[in-house]
A and B are shown apart, each in its own frame.
Chain A
């Protein structure tokens, strides 16, 4: 399933490079086009909906795909690949809680998530899928309904552009509300740092899953959140609550990392059991992993 992207193309997907592009649409296009260029050169092919071709009929081909006009002109059987049109509803659930404002290397998780959401929306639109956006912290902050109409992408991108990090996160609540409002199952992409109680997160995701939606969880983590590189006496101010914890960081590192590893491992294990596609994304790494996860999920759809 893994697609290989060559290093020279990776440059276009580097979060730091992408983040410097002012226009979110251009940012999304850059990411997606760069990603697709990489895909075309890779063995992972067959999802380009605008690509059509003729090839000679081979026994076993669907007869409905024969182009009879060509047969009338040339007396030969050719198979025509039509541009594919879908009605898949894709919803991007973007966590805009205050904890997403953290970034240790020039790119915050929020900026990374916005770029990622924009890229996904762009790619979905290009796939002729209907795209919707839900931004949430402890409740739904912004919602753009699902639509596949032309011009809808711009609404989504404009909504993304306006997003700011908000309050405390409560993943379960907006997920539950969304699940209850879901009338047509589709694809739900959750972009969040999941710094919430795992049980409530799982409960919300299971709720979504129970409504028939395919769920992809893109778990964003800043590299500093994994490695905890602090050493001296440091006052850590909670981005969501404002509470401070003053401690000797070097003493805390080992138990912190252990707790964080346990959290990630718990998500990996429990989400796999809940049939939820889980991807952990390092915000210092390119966005292609997230795009691939969407395409892989898209491929599984009938």
Chain B
């Protein structure tokens, strides 16, 4: 048993008050000279001990009440947390950039050496990371197990994300802190622009550096052209190299030739007439570099248009859906959209078949969106559908209650007054912005917003973009099945000039693609972004839900082994006051005490004791 405010236990000395009063002012009763005392004494009810016992009972009850009150103020809780010892976390980089010959062996050697360096008294944990982090070994005193865990890590085709590794390590260490040793090739692409990782203030971060490969050849892009296929082969080495480039369609080699690759990006044209409906791959033979980025896949069959239901006040006759309709129409040629603009009141009239064909809903207005329509929307999202809400003046928050199901709700307040502001992505690694690319994502900040709603932020929301006044601009809701995004302004140019900016159309397209779980512009996803049901392996894949095909490729940024300095790496580490994975982590005694709330029971018991005390006192009166 521990106490959140043990100083209040000093209040227990107050029990001396009733004890002293009992001793000093014990109710002896008035003396009454009486004549017939023998009849009093003879009464079977006369037991002079009884009042004394009652007084003792009263004293006991009063002391108990005071002790319970003291206990309640001291806020007791059962501290079942194991006393923490410092932890050394060894984080092994297993990304694609660690897959060159000899790199992983070097990482194992460095990792094992780090295990030997773990200070006495520290526990050791092993984390493997690429774009995600996985705990390979929970904190333990078993050094041999730690070495084995280190040596069990193998390279993947994933991209590097240091923030994931440091976040996982912070979670293991908690507020008590410890050491984190990142065994990595220090690939510069492992940090996004402006990204930083929070670690407990008591933690120290070190890097054990695996030498990067001197040069790497990678196919970083492939696109169909009118007369064949165009590929980009990147040579990260300092010198030109001759390499064999192979074009295959459905695993059958169509063409292979040796190409001289200058340092940097090299355009390579391959093939002639390519068959429709096939999967093409372009491979460069590079035995010294990373193996995973030597081949890139391309889907050659045309995509059927994805149906998008645009719900706007006034339907197609109104102007609210104009810009969105235009943006969707201008979507990528090989990933078209079929937008259907409808009035909110007509949502409920769509039959089951029409709903099944809808990939995403863009909600721009709610006039006339009645309960049945909301129910249809909720069922659509619950079934895994995608929803984008533009919180302009045409959308009434109250009409969105229950659209995300009974437990989640779209939370925003209408316009918070007119003042010019701009918005920028807060998480550029989010698929919406990653698909846009750096340039287009930066272009999003060009729009000026005069009116914007205030979106609520909570445990199940994730802010993807913010206005320059700090309020949320783009919010994703954490749902069990479907995906939902809230854009905190309109998409019809009423409260902003965003639709007239170049970033608007791609942004709308990528939002819809994301919530609808559609493959990217080339119908490809990176390994980090594979949808559910698709294995994170480069190659052709089939979406289990729709049966549509897509290709999975490695992140082209991972092919660049350019390292950064240790100082630059550590410069992104942000020591925070609070411990744990998040700055506001709440895993301390306060949380345990709040969850247990024993003070409430103590208070209730005290009240019960006081009631008993009053009853006994009344019986004595």
Contacts and interface: CB of A to CB of B under 8 A. Distances in A.
- Do A and B share a complex? yes
Interface of A: 99-102, 109, 193, 195, 222, 225, 230-241, 243-248, 251-252, 254-256, 259-260, 263
A245 B35 contact: no
B30 interface: yes
A236 B50 contact: no
Contacts of B31: 234-235, 237, 244
Nearest to A259: B39
Contact of B35 (A102, A230, A246): A102
A239 B43 contact: no
Interface string B43-75: 111111011001000000000000000000000
B29 interface: yes
Q: How large is the interface on B (under 10, 10 to 19, 20 to 34, 35 or more residues)?
A: 20 to 34
Given A246-B51, A248-B51, A195 B40 contact: no
B35 A235 contact: no
B621 A231 contact: yes
Contacts of B37: 236-239, 241, 243, 245
B46 A193 contact: no
Nearest to A241: B37
A102 B34 contact: yes
A204 B106 CA distance: 124
Contacts of B43: 247, 252, 255-256, 259
Interface string B471-497: 000000000000000000000000000
7 contacts: A222-B35, A237-B37, A239-B34, A245-B46, A246-B29, A252-B43, A259-B43
Given A231-B621, A232-B29, A235-B30, A247 B35 contact: no
A251 B620 CA distance: 9
Contacts of B33: 101-102, 237, 239
Interface of B: 27-48, 50-51, 54, 620-621
A256 B50 contact: no
B619 to A, nearest CB: 9
A284 B47 CA distance: 31
Nearest to B29: A233
Contacts of A195: 35-36, 38
Nearest to A260: B39
Nearest to A98: B35
A109 B168 CA distance: 96
Contact of A193 (B35, B39, B40, B50): B35
Contacts of A244: 31
Counting chain A CB atoms within 10 Å of each CB, the highest count among B35, B40, B42 belongs to B35
Contacts of A247: 40, 43, 45-48, 50-51
B32 A234 contact: yes
A233 B620 contact: yes
Contacts of A255: 42-45
Contacts of A252: 40, 43, 45-46
A256 B34 CA distance: 13
Contacts of A254: 45
Contacts of A263: 39
A240 B621 CA distance: 28
B48 A245 contact: yes
Contacts of B47: 247
Nearest to B41: A245
Given A244-B31, A260-B39, 10 more contacts: A99-B36, A233-B51, A235-B31, A236-B34, A237-B33, A238-B37, A251-B46, A252-B40, A252-B46, A260-B36
A239 B35 CA distance: 6
Counting chain B CB atoms within 10 Å of each CB, the highest count among A195, A225, A251 belongs to A251
A82 to B, nearest CB: 47
A262 to B, nearest CB: 10
Given A247-B48, A248-B51, A99 B621 contact: no
B40 A248 contact: no
B34 A237 contact: yes
Contacts of B29: 232-235, 246
Contacts of A225: 35-36
B39 A248 contact: no
B35 A99 contact: yes
Contacts of A248: 45, 50-51, 54, 620
A142 to B, nearest CB: 21
Given A225-B36, A239-B34, A256-B39, A246 B28 contact: yes
A217 to B, nearest CB: 17
Contacts of A222: 35
Contacts of B48: 245-247
Contacts of B50: 247-248, 251
A201 to B, nearest CB: 14
A241 B35 CA distance: 10
Counting chain A CB atoms within 10 Å of each CB, the highest count among B40, B42, B45, B51 belongs to B40
A246 B36 CA distance: 14
B28 to A, nearest CB: 6
A20 to B, nearest CB: 22
Nearest to A254: B45
What 10 pairs between A and B have smallest CB-CB spacing? Answer: A233-B29, A99-B35, A238-B37, A255-B43, A102-B35, A236-B34, A251-B45, A259-B39, A247-B46, A246-B48
Contacts of A246: 28-29, 48, 51
Contact of B30 (A99, A102, A234): A234
Nearest to A102: B35
A263 B32 CA distance: 22
Contacts of B27: 233
Contacts of A101: 33, 35
Nearest to A242: B33
A163 B29 CA distance: 32
A245 B38 CA distance: 9
A200 to B, nearest CB: 14
Nearest to B28: A235
Nearest to B31: A235
Nearest to A238: B37
Contacts of B32: 230, 234-237
B15 to A, nearest CB: 23
B49 to A, nearest CB: 10
Contacts of A238: 34-35, 37-38
Contacts of B620: 233, 248
B43 to A, nearest CB: 4
A102 B34 CA distance: 6
A52 to B, nearest CB: 47
A193 B29 CA distance: 27
B40 A256 contact: yes
B41 A232 contact: no
A140 B133 CA distance: 112
Nearest to B54: A248
A256 B40 CA distance: 6
Contacts of A230: 32
B51 to A, nearest CB: 5
Contacts of A260: 36, 39
A231 B29 CA distance: 10
A264 to B, nearest CB: 11
B26 to A, nearest CB: 10
A59 B136 CA distance: 143
Contacts of A99: 35-36
A248 to B, nearest CB: 5
Nearest to A108: B35
Nearest to A193: B35
Contacts of A233: 27-29, 51, 620
Contacts of B45: 247-248, 251-252, 254-255
A240 B250 CA distance: 125
Counting chain B CB atoms within 10 Å of each CB, the highest count among A100, A101, A237, A248 belongs to A248
B222 to A, nearest CB: 101
A248 B45 CA distance: 9
